């Protein structure tokens, strides 16, 4: 998956501009940068989630399997099935654990031989099965925050995506639950391409193969702050040998 000259607008306001990025298959890419530099905005443009935001518009191309996901005739629902998203706050449906997983395959009309097997497979991949296998019919709200987030990851996996987008998936979790999600991400990258927005630089350094650092530049006339990609590379290079002074200032805590 890649972005070519991507700009994202909210009405007349250009939130992000000129982004060119290649997301490596079966790699984890972290998007980092100070608040308001457009990380979440860019992430949402990668699976047409911004379509659901009034006034949002994407210019440029977001290529997935060589095809622009914004091309006329592309079904955004299918895009979001193949490029799933996990949000900051765990958001299980007010349903049983089982039905949270079965919901996506049902509504997308997936051909499923055994829903029980699919639910077990998704929960196993999300490393939650052992904790919930005896209470599948109980409400998802009875789970801890960390378990709920793994349930949301299982729910994303259940519709068999190729890519998983994660928008600060650990920011509402305690350190132990965070560690479990990070471990889980390492497992998942064997099967999926992952893009994660994180505020936590240590987390980016721990989990990501590649890191993209963004900052916001203020327009001299209007004062509008627009996000730009400053530097993109292997995570070790970004953290140990940044090429741009702004990256160095940010990762060393001098700015942002």
* Phi, psi for 202 (deg, rounded to 5): -60, -35
Sign of the alpha-carbon dihedral angle for 69, 193, 183, 190 = positive
Is 147 or 211 the residue whose CB approaches ligand ATP more closely? Answer: 211
Is 74 or 218 the residue whose CB approaches ligand ATP more closely? Answer: 218
Structure tokens at 22: 């290649």
Structure tokens at 140: 């998802």
Q: What is the dihedral of CA 51, 12, 21, 70, to 10 degrees?
A: 30
- Measured from the CB of residue 182, what is the shortest distance to ligand ATP in angstroms? 19
- Measured from the CB of residue 250, what is the shortest distance to ligand ATP in angstroms? 12
CB of 33 within 8 A of CB of 213?
A: yes
- Measured from the CB of residue 48, what is the shortest distance to ligand ATP in angstroms? 14
Which residues lie across from 167 on neighbouring strands? 197
Is 82 or 199 the residue whose CB approaches ligand ATP more closely? Answer: 199
- Measured from the CB of residue 89, what is the shortest distance to ligand ATP in angstroms? 13
Is 24 or 36 the residue whose CB approaches ligand ATP more closely? Answer: 36
- Measured from the CB of residue 192, what is the shortest distance to ligand ATP in angstroms? 22
Is 49 or 143 the residue whose CB approaches ligand ATP more closely? Answer: 49
Structure tokens at 218: 């203020």
- Measured from the CB of residue 80, what is the shortest distance to ligand ATP in angstroms? 17
Q: What is the dihedral of CA 45, 47, 53, 57, to 10 degrees?
A: 40
Is 17 or 100 the residue whose CB approaches ligand ATP more closely? Answer: 17
- Residues in contact with ligand ATP by CB under 6 A are 10, 15, 35-41, 53, 199, 225, 227
The full 3-state SS of 57-90, as one line of letters, equals: EEEEEEEECCEECCCCCCCHHHHHHHEEEECCCC
- Measured from the CB of residue 233, what is the shortest distance to ligand ATP in angstroms? 19
CB of 77 within 8 A of CB of 28?
A: no
Is 125 or 246 the residue whose CB approaches ligand ATP more closely? Answer: 246
Q: Which residue has the tokens 């659901």?
A: 52
CB of 3 within 8 A of CB of 60?
A: yes
Alpha-carbon distance of 152 to 165, in angstroms, equals 12
């Amino acid at each position: 998956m890649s972005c070519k000259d991507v700009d994202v607008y909210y009405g007349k306001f250009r939130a992000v501009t000129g982004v060119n990025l290649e997301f490596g298959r079966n790699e984890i890419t972290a998007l980092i940068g100070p608040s308001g530099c457009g990380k979440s905005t860019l992430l949402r443009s990668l699976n047409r989630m911004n379509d659901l935001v009034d006034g949002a518009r994407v210019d440029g191309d977001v290529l997935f399997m060589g095809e622009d996901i914004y091309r006329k005739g592309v079904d955004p629902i299918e895009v979001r099935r193949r490029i799933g998203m996990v949000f900051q706050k765990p958001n299980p449906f007010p349903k049983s654990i089982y039905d949270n997983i079965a919901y996506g395959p049902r509504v997308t009309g997936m051909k499923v031989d055994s829903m029980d097997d699919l639910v077990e497979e998704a929960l196993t991949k999300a490393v939650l099965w052992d904790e919930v296998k005896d209470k599948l019919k109980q409400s998802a709200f009875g789970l801890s925050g960390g378990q709920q987030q793994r349930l949301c990851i299982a729910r994303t996996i259940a519709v068999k995506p190729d890519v998983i987008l994660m928008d600060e998936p650990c920011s509402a979790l305690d350190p132990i639950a965070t560690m479990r999600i990070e471990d889980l991400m390492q497992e998942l990258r064997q099967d999926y391409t992952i893009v994660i927005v994180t505020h936590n630089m240590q987390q980016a350094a721990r989990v990501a193969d590649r890191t993209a650092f963004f900052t916001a530049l203020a327009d001299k006339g209007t004062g509008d702050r627009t996000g730009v990609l400053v530097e993109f590379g292997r995570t070790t290079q970004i953290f140990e040998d940044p090429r741009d002074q702004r990256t160095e200032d940010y990762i060393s805590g001098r700015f942002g």
